[in-house]
């Protein structure tokens, strides 16, 4: 997961609990569940990708089907080069904590992310530092996410686990954390755990 050029987008909408960023490359959003960061004061705000989508840059302009007379999907873009300039890929990030003066906090930062902040992937070392404690699951379990919370938590565990030399051990630790967090809600716990099977 070491990504050299790890700047992927820019914040275009922001609120206390999360932000929306526009990708620099069409169809190149970060994976669901990825841990991302933006610069914040002397540290960073961290969050997990909870949604991505591609749509028209202008709200009033509908996308129409164009491929009736061509053989491949690529040919549509080849023959209509303007399309790529009129579309944009966005992703939404649910904030899971922040770091200030080298201390990590697994709750929401006091202020929302300013617009136009660059969004970066976290390097393996940062992922490991942020997931030393998994308290931030609490923020995801109850977050009003655009897709199922369980789906995002499972994706996050699968993604961040890759930063560890033993991803399975990380999944086990994450599973235990969830068991504590969800208490008697075994239905929900199982729903997440089934998404963690290798």
| Cα distance between residue 10 and residue 111, in whole Å | 17
User: Which pair of structure tokens corresponds to residue 176?
Assistant: 């235990």
Burial degree of 131 (CB within 10 A; 0-12, 13-18, 19+): buried
Please identify which residue in 2, 4, 58, 166 interacts with other proteins, judged by CB under 8 A. Answer: 58
| Cα distance between residue 137 and residue 156, in whole Å | 9
Q: Which is nearer to other proteins, 1 or 70 (CB)?
A: 70
Q: Which is nearer to other proteins, 39 or 88 (CB)?
A: 88
Q: Is 165 helix (H, G, I), strand (E, B) or coil?
A: coil
| Pair 35, 129: CB distance under 8 Å | no
Q: Which is nearer to other proteins, 42 or 82 (CB)?
A: 82
Q: Does 54 bind other proteins (CB under 8 A)?
A: no
Q: Does 111 bind other proteins (CB under 8 A)?
A: no
Q: Does 168 bind other proteins (CB under 8 A)?
A: no
Q: Which is nearer to other proteins, 55 or 84 (CB)?
A: 84
| Cα distance between residue 58 and residue 56, in whole Å | 5
User: Which pair of structure tokens corresponds to residue 12?
Assistant: 């275009």
Q: Does 166 bind other proteins (CB under 8 A)?
A: no
Write the binding mask 64 to 103 for other proteins: x where contact by CB under 8 A, - elsewhere: x------------xxxxxxxxxx-----------------
Q: Which positions touch other proteins (CB under 8 A)?
A: 58, 61, 64, 77-86
């Amino acid at each position: 997961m070491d990504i050299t050029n790890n700047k992927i987008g820019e914040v275009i909408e922001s609120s206390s609990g999360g932000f929306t960023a526009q990708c620099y490359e069409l169809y190149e959003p970060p994976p669901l569940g990825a841990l991302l960061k933006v610069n914040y004061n002397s540290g960073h705000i961290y969050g997990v990708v909870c949604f991505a989508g591609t749509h028209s840059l202008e709200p009033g302009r509908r996308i129409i089907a164009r491929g009736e007379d061509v053989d491949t999907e690529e040919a549509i873009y080849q023959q209509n080069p303007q399309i790529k300039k009129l579309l944009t890929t966005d992703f939404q990030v649910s904030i899971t904590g922040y770091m200030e003066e080298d201390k990590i906090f697994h709750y929401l930062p006091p202020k929302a992310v300013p617009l136009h902040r660059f969004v970066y992937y976290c390097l393996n070392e940062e992922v490991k530092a942020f997931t030393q404690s998994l308290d931030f699951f609490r923020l995801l379990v109850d977050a009003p996410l655009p897709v199922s919370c369980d789906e995002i938590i499972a994706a996050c565990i699968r993604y961040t686990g890759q930063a560890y030399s033993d991803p399975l051990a990380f999944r086990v630790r994450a599973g235990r954390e969830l068991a504590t967090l969800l208490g008697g809600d075994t239905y929900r716990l199982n729903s997440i755990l089934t998404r963690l099977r290798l």
